[in-house]
A and B are shown apart, each in its own frame.
Chain A
Amino acid sequence: MSSQTEPHNVKNEKKAMWYSSIPGLGQLYNGQLFKGIVFLAIFIAFIVEMIVFGFDAFNGLITLGSTPIEDHSLFIMIEGTLQLIITVIFLAFYALNIYDAKRVASIWNRGQKVNVTVKDVMWNVYNAGFPYLLIVPAYLMMAFTIIFPVLVTLFMAFTNYDFYHIPPANLIDWIGLKNFMNIFFLSSYRDAFTSVFSWTIIWTFSATTLQIVIGIFTAVIANQSFIKGKRFFGVIFLLPWAVPAFITILSFSNIFNDSIGAINTQVIPLINELPFVEIGRIAWKTNAFWSKIAIIMIQGWLGFPYIYVMTTSILQSIPEDLYEAAKIDGASAFQRFREITMPMVFLVAAPTFITQYTQNFNNFSMIYLFNNGGPGSVGGGAGATDILISWIYKLTTGTSPQYSMAAAITLIISALVIIVSLTVFKKTNAFNMEDA
């Protein structure tokens, strides 16, 4: 076909939009045959999908099944969630198709060139939309690998999914906000939640701050010009990071044993050799307070090498002449550290420090492997050193799992982590991806 210039077409925008209430018709009205057919095909595919699968899925999402054994509430909920995502994508498409009809009509009216032929439309998609074509699979993957599970968890928090209602023998039902109410009003959960939550905050703050302080301290010291054997120290400081944490924690669990652990039987007696020092045996694993101290110390030991490496590399990039100038102005070593080193380190590493906090907030392995959340308990199935994440683990495993309760607590945790991270990230300008 030769590309002849179309005669000046007048299109009614309103009309095009109304036509497009059935996707594709508006495009046909605008003379874009190929686009219209594609849109119509999508629409029909969706209608068919709704008839075959969608209506049942939506209905299931509302009822969550009616006959035990035949209906598996959990699968029904999952199908409903899938349908929800598909529908949302379709609705977005629907809105855009109406918008497109209006837009193309207005282009006609302005007398600009409209892509009518298949070749033109494809060429336009290829030219202008190529990057988007490449992104589509990733977006779809994201919808189904990230959004979908999150949605299911979200829904689960509003059901009564526990050991009494395990499909398919029993049905799951929507119970609204009851789980959240239980967390805040039922004695067995309330006491546990407040004490677990407060310990989680204390733990996150102390352990992470400790590892950051040790990391920066060792890095600054090891980078002083008068230190001999920097290589050697570098390797030494990296060791805690090189050994898998899993194994380290388990062996620490033994080292801190009250009766036969190395700390009580060898280290403390050795320290006691010093004059005027007399430390008794410490109940590392049978006393809640000391258990917490031990866990924080171990996390400091495990976590500092990462901070150390990062700080070391940042220190390399601080120009030496800043320090020179400060020295000439008579700044003390501490002032130099506070006014030059610290701001430079934080400028670069603040986001990483934040992620360290969020990581420790959910540091399951440390708590679980060291003392299984013990010693003793604070009710609600939580141990004295349990943090929220390990408490959830205890709620969902064992012989009477309470999945819905765990989902509710998970939501609370996620909300907290997201809010805190976002605020701090905004404050530290970590996501300002502009050139400074």
Chain B
Amino acid sequence: MKKTSWKKYVLGLVSTSALVLAACGGGEEATETNSTSGEAAADTTLQISVDQGYVEYVEDIKGAFEEENGVTIEVTERDMFEQLEALPLDGPSGNAPDIMMSAYDRMGSLGQQGHIAEVTLANDDQYDDTDRAQVTLDEKIYGAPSVIETLVLYYNTDLLDEAPTTFVDLEALAKDDQFAFENEEGKNTGFLAKWTDFYFTYGLVSGYGGYVFGEDGTDPTDIGLNNEGAVEAIEYATDWFKNTWPQGMQDVTSADAFITDQYLNGKVGAFIGGPWQAASLKDAGVNYGVSTIPTLNNGEAYEAFGGGKGWVVSNYSENKDVGQAWLDYVTNTENQNKFYDATNEVPANQESRVYATEKEDELTTAVINQYKDAQPMPNIPEMAEVWTGAENMLFDAASGNKTPQESADDSAKLIKESIEQKYTN
């Protein structure tokens, strides 16, 4: 008896499933259609998502804009990178904000993939060519510049009377016994830079004549990371890694922490860092000065990547025109001045930069001056391959796995190959 009946149960099982499914299927249909139409309310709301540090500023300035345009602005707080990661998924389902901020180097690929909308820049005399290049890809503008940042030199005012101005000064620091590293014989922490990270190395490479993608960072077939100048720069960096710095500086994951740790212990004379590091030094209560990065030994400036953030409009937004108006409003001189006062971050607007310089903040002045020598980071998607390929370029040379020339050649080849194999449409 048992043998014959199981099939009957399976039948029951399957038909019940089918019934339940049929019931569910009907329900699903209904919910799908009305989720997207929840956007169009009678009174337009503009959703703006910003980092925690900017919420107050946006709340502060939004009143005038709301009155002028007859919209309500909702500010949500979310980490910028998180928000950008989520946009491709949230956008199509109608859950993405209308306005966000984006780092310059993400705008290119986001724009190309169609996640952020093309915009126009309000008045041209606010920006120079570098600023425009930051937000432009293939002649299309994808954002309004808001913040600029580039690397600067931090130095310990307790130990140094004045900021080092040339790399010769830095080399002298590294011979000073007060900065000798006690755990490793003959090593010194007078000057440190996270040169395993290509973001930090680029200024050096570029100063010696290396480049990433051709003259203006848009030609992915022309990689200049293994030309004569670049190799010379890598040799110079390798010399620091091998003969001056402790082994821990080669550790890509913890070099940052190592530098900060040593600085707080008063064992570092000067180090290259980003403006975002100032806050933690301030919190730690140590004295520091900020200046531009010293001149290289060949007399050239340290041409670090210029980066920063701008305002972007989601391509999924239903109020792109209002979004455009917000971009124009938030980046005008008055609001950029307010922005500087509120966040102490260097505004992209040229007129506001003058305003910020007048405030005589050391960090601000250093960033603005350094930015004159900065190069816009290439924003074509191929740049992603450079980060992975070049990160190991320095590591391999520094750790002695390869000679600088080999290391540069291998990296350039890897970047070239990756681009050829992954970026062929």
Contact = CB atoms under 8 A, between A and B. Distances in A.
A372 B255 CA distance: 13
A376 B384 contact: no
B18 A89 contact: yes
B16 A136 contact: yes
A39 B248 CA distance: 72
A286 B388 contact: no
B247 A188 contact: no
Nearest to B261: A260
A258 B13 contact: no
A99 B9 CA distance: 13
B315 A169 contact: yes
B404 interface: no
Main secondary structure, interface of B, reads helix
A258 B383 CA distance: 31
Given A129-B9, A162-B422, A166-B88, A93 B250 contact: no
B17 interface: yes
Most chain B CB neighbours (cut-off 10 Å) among A49, A103, A374: A374
Main secondary structure, interface of A, reads helix
Interface in B178-209: 181, 183-184, 187
B183 A136 contact: no
A168 B92 contact: yes
The size class of the interface chain A forms with chain B is 35 or more
Given A92-B14, A257-B251, A260-B183, A128 B5 contact: yes
A289 to B, nearest CB: 11
B25 A86 contact: yes
A377 interface: yes
Interface stretch (B60-68, B125-133, B395-403): B395-403
A39 B22 CA distance: 12
Interface in A16-45: 38-39, 41-42, 45
A80 interface: no
A135 interface: yes
Interface string A79-120: 000000010011011001101100100000000000000000
Nearest to A95: B14
A257 B106 CA distance: 32
A38 B15 contact: yes
A149 interface: no
B329 interface: no
Contacts of B18: 42, 45-46, 89-90, 93
Interface stretch (A338-346, A397-405, A422-430): A397-405
Given A72-B92, A164-B423, A265 B183 contact: yes
Contact of A52 (B29, B258, B425): B29
B251 A258 contact: yes
A69 interface: yes
A399 B391 CA distance: 15
Interface in A149-182: 162-164, 166-170, 182
Given A89-B17, A140-B17, A285-B254, A53 B25 contact: yes
Contact of B253 (A164, A167, A285): A285
A303 interface: no
Given A96-B14, A164-B423, A376-B399, A140 B21 contact: yes
B284 interface: no
Nearest to B12: A129
Most chain B CB neighbours (cut-off 10 Å) among A68, A89, A167, A257: A257
Contacts of A258: 246-248, 250-251
Interface stretch (B37-45, B108-116, B318-326, B361-369): B108-116
A260 B181 CA distance: 10
A375 B250 contact: yes
A379 interface: yes
A42 to B, nearest CB: 5
Interface string B243-266: 000111111111001100100000
Contact of A86 (B15, B21, B254): B21
Contacts of A187: 417, 421
A281 B184 contact: yes
Nearest to A99: B7
Interface string A235-265: 0000000000000000001100111110011
Most chain A CB neighbours (cut-off 10 Å) among B91, B187, B392: B392
A197 to B, nearest CB: 19
B381 interface: yes
Contacts of B114: 68-69, 166, 168-170
A413 to B, nearest CB: 21
Contacts of A372: 252-253
Contacts of A285: 248, 251, 253-254
Most chain A CB neighbours (cut-off 10 Å) among B21, B181, B246, B387: B21
Given A49-B22, A68-B114, A167-B92, A132 B425 contact: no
A411 B251 CA distance: 33
Contact of B13 (A42, A135, A260, A375): A135
Nearest to B381: A400
Given A162-B422, A259-B184, A260-B261, 10 more contacts: A42-B15, A42-B18, A45-B22, A99-B11, A129-B13, A132-B10, A163-B113, A164-B381, A285-B254, A374-B395
12 contacts: A38-B19, A86-B21, A89-B21, A96-B15, A99-B11, A139-B17, A186-B421, A187-B421, A259-B258, A285-B251, A376-B392, A400-B422
